[in-house]
Amino acid sequence: MRRLTSLASLAAILIAVLLSPAALAQGREQIASYFSRVEVHEDNSVTVTEDITVDALGREIRRGIFRDIPLGGVGPLGLGGSSFELLAATRDGEPEPNRVERQGGEVRIYLGDAGTLLAPGRYRYRITYRMTDVVRHFADHDELYWNATGNGWGFDIREARVLVVPPEGAPVTDTSVYTGGFGARGADAVIGEDGRGRPVFTTVHALRPGEGITVSASWPKGHVAPPSASQRLAGWLERHGVYAVAVLTALLLAAYYGFAWLRVGRDPPAGTIIPVYHPTLPPAAMRYIERMGHDNECVSAALVSLAVKGRLRIEDVDGTTVLTRVHDAPSSKVPVSDGEQALLSALFLSGDEVTVEKAQRSRIRAATAALKSHLDRTFNRVYFNRNYLWFAGGAAITLAGIVLVVLISPVGAAVIAAAGMPILVAGFFANAFFRVVRDAWQAVRGGEYLRLALMAIPVAVLTIVLSSFVTIGGAFVFDIFSVGILPGLLIAFILGMNLMFFFLLKAPTAIGRGALDEIEGTRLYLTVAEADRLKFHNPPDKTPEHFHELLPYALALGVETAWTNQFRAEIAAAQAADPERDPYMRPGWYRGRGGRGFTNVREIGRIGPTMASAIAAASVTQSSSGSGGGGFSGGGSGGGGGGGW
């Protein structure tokens, strides 16, 4: 008997499924019809009755449905938002268990019993609720702008119909309807009237998941109470808040950075620049002070300086740079700087030979860190100040502006969430992009054209990826806010101000200003034309020793081509006299391929960039791989969406 009862129950369920409208709808859960009645009251509130007929199959709609209703207002705090009260909830005419949860700036209504599963079939849910402060007030009319269904449903809505009941005695003077996804301005609906002349909006096509219907109806002023103070404030912030915050942020930022620059960012006046024949500062220190920071060119200049002073030999072995420590060379009596000694000691701590390749990454990094540590300790805050704390103040003002935009903008948080990730990813790829471009430039300066050709592929890939993510992030910002040229200019101004003063706030001290004068004097001497050289007071003779002595300085200051060009005649004469013993092209501190020296003048100038590029490549950590108006659909009050649970 029990078995027969079970079979009968199973058969009943199967019959219910096969004969239900949901089965006729190709086995998909859907909203068969959605009717919304919105009655506007004189006190600026509305009473909304929604009849939602669903076809449930026990997939998403298992216990019932839920309905999300935004409360409006400005930003995540909901300033000036509506109050909400659920008046009734039924299923097929009978009271339905329910609960209301507030989630941020919206409420979620759960219809159904957590302990009861629905049998497959068609169900009609009705919810009635009351909201305040939803009417929009204009100079000559009032308007209900209502997102009736919301755009957050995950089901098809086969038919949607909206009835707007205006305030008692108010004639409806204008109506509009919008359908589609959020921001769409489609009008796949007809506008009619019921028997009492009230507007009825009916869709002509099914609404797909993520689509909804938004309606508006206007009437003359005087039929609805004026807006409350909070609603007036919310309206002003909604219309002008983002602009006001952007302008205020820009003005505060300009005032702050102007004050900061006057206080700590102004450079001391420069002295008279005269040619410097024998600099007192080491080459790496010159580059560090001028850039107010360290890079691989500092290391390469220091290595060439050590080689010229007889402390090491640089050798090109089949395209790979090999550094060999030299003991008791004739030129080793020339003193080295403290930074160069730190670099030398760290580099040859465990042997007298280092190949500049990834296998020697730890030694190269240790040597680079030793030089950087010395430069930071000796020159930072003595010769210049980066003033990062002052820059942090401007960054804090910018961050505060962003937070305010999020708090007062109806879509500010959505913009940050939607645009933030693409922009962060773009920043990651931008860092990689600029590193690759920097290495490519070093390859150009070093004459490594094969390596440059191989780098074309990652440059192209990173360019495409970077531009894609920047476009996506920018599209979210400009599409969601629908900004015009003024907000765009304000954003560009704020970002540009931060970028500009990141560099402008760095300033030399009085001691550093003297060092910069020496650097400029050295650059003047290294780059002077022959005709102007004759005007100098007792310039040194053009000798191989003098050429190699200042070559590290030319590399550090990026003027190696100008310096080698000054000696073209002397180099050509030495080549003609004895190519095998040419002191310019065959210095004791360098061996080119085949054990010979430099092959041409250009190769001399490329040694610095070539070494900097090799150091950069060898220092990179190998990463692991791994596999009718101005409306639109979704606008206005109401909205939200829903689903099954």
Q: What is the pLDDT of residues 109-140, one digit of tens each?
A: 999 999 999 999 999 999 999 998 888 888 88
H-helix or E-strand spanning residue 64: strand 64-70
Q: What local confidence, expressed as pLDDT, does residue 563 receive?
A: 95
Instruction: Provide mean pLDDT across the span 178-205.
Output: 89
User: Where do the H-state alpha helices sit in 88-202?
Assistant: none
8 A C-beta contact, residue 78 and residue 88: no
Nearest in space to 361 (alpha carbons), one of 373, 371, 347, 378: 347
Of the pLDDT bands very low, low, confident and very high (cuts 50, 70, 90), residue 183 is confident
| % residues pLDDT > 90 (the chain) | 54
- Residue 106 and residue 67 in contact, taking contact as beta carbons nearer than 8 Å: no
Residue 90 burial (C-beta neighbours within 10 Å; 0-12, 13-18, 19+): middle
Beta sheet of 98-103, edge-to-edge order: 98-103, 106-112, 64-70, 641-644
Is 83's pLDDT higher than 70? yes
Mean pLDDT of the chain: 82
**pLDDT bracket for residue 34 (50, 70, 90):** very high
Q: Which residue has the tokens 């068609």?
A: 122
pLDDT confidence of residue 535: 77
Q: What are the backbone angles phi and psi of residue 226, rounded to the nearest 5°? A: -65, 160
Cα–Cα distance measured from residue 167 to residue 45, given in angstroms and rounded to the nearest whole number: 10
**Pairwise CA distance, residues 314 & 440, whole Å:** 22
Instruction: Give the Cα separation of 58 and 141 in Å (integer).
Output: 47
Find out whether 207 and 201 touch, Cβ atoms under 8 Å: no
The three-state secondary structure class of 626 is coil
Q: Would you say residue 546 has pLDDT above 90?
A: yes
Q: Over range 18-39, report the average pLDDT.
A: 74
Q: Quickly state the pLDDT bin for 625 (edges 50, 70, 90).
A: very low
What confidence score (pLDDT) does residue 9 get?
Answer: 42
pLDDT surpasses 60 at 448: no
Q: What is the pLDDT of residue 590?
A: 94
- Tens of pLDDT, residue by residue over 552-603, are 999 999 999 999 999 999 999 998 898 888 899 999 999 988 778 888 778 8
Over residues 155-172, the mean pLDDT reads 94
Q: For residues 224 and 187, is the Cβ–Cβ distance under 8 A?
A: no
Torsion angle defined by CA atoms of residues 365, 367, 368 and 371, in that order, rounded to the nearest 10 degrees = 150
At residue 12, the pLDDT reads: 40
pLDDT attached to residue 379:
96
Nearest to 57 by CA among 27, 77, 33, 87: 27
Q: What does the alpha-carbon distance between residue 637 and residue 73 come to, in Å, rounded to a whole number?
A: 9
Indicate whether 87 pLDDT > 80: yes
Give which of 354, 300, 261 is closest to 605, Cα–Cα: 300
Q: Which tokens in the block code for residue 605?
A: 């100038």
C-alpha to C-alpha distance for 96 and 426, rounded to whole angstroms = 50
Average pLDDT over residues 290-306: 95
Least confident of 166-180, 266-280, 475-489, 548-562: 475-489
Provide mean pLDDT across the span 276-304.
95
Q: Which residue has the higher pLDDT, 386 or 181?
A: 386
Tokens in use for 609? 């960039």
Alpha-carbon torsion angle 613, 614, 618, 620, nearest 10 = 10
- Which residues are CB-neighbours of 417 under 8 A, at least 6 positions away? none
Q: What is the DSSP string of 247-287?
A: HHHHHHHHHHHHHHIIIIIPPPPP------SS-SS-HHHHH
Question: Which of 336, 346, 281, 286 minimizes the C-alpha distance to 306?
Answer: 336
- Considering the entire predicted model, what is its pTM? 0.63
Provide the residue type at 127 as one letter: I
Give the pLDDT confidence of 511-529 residue by residue, as tens digits. 999 999 999 999 999 998 7
Question: For residue 117, what are its two tokens?
Answer: 């599963």
Band the pLDDT of 24: cuts 50, 70, 90: very low
C-alpha–C-alpha distance, residues 345 and 334, integer Å: 17
Q: Which of 97, 149, 289 is nearest to 635 (CA)?
A: 149
Alpha-helical runs (H) found in 559-600: 560-566, 568-577
* H or E stretch at 450: helix 449-481
* Paired strand residues for 180: 212
pLDDT for 327: 87
Report which residue type is found at 316: D
Instruction: Tell me if 66 sits within 8 A of 643, measured CB to CB.
Output: yes
Residue 190, H or E segment: strand 189-193
pLDDT for 108 beyond 60 = yes
Domains in the chain, please, with CATH?
A: 30-227 (2.60.40), 283-387+507-618 (no CATH), 388-505 (no CATH)
Using alpha carbons, select from 22, 48, 41 the residue that is nearest to residue 150: 48
Q: What pLDDT is stored for residue 409 in this prediction?
A: 66
Report the C-alpha gap between 284 and 290 in whole angstroms: 10
Can you tell me the distance from the alpha carbon of 39 to that of 424, in angstroms, rounded to the nearest whole number? 46
Q: How far apart are CA 562 and CA 523, in angstroms?
A: 10
pLDDT (tens digit per residue) in 402-422: 888 777 765 555 555 555 555
For residue 134, the model assigns a pLDDT of 85
Residue 296 is classified by DSSP as: H
**More confident site: 45 or 473:** 45
Q: How many CB atoms lie within 10 A of CB 465?
A: 17
Res 482 pLDDT > 50? no
pLDDT number for residue 344: 96
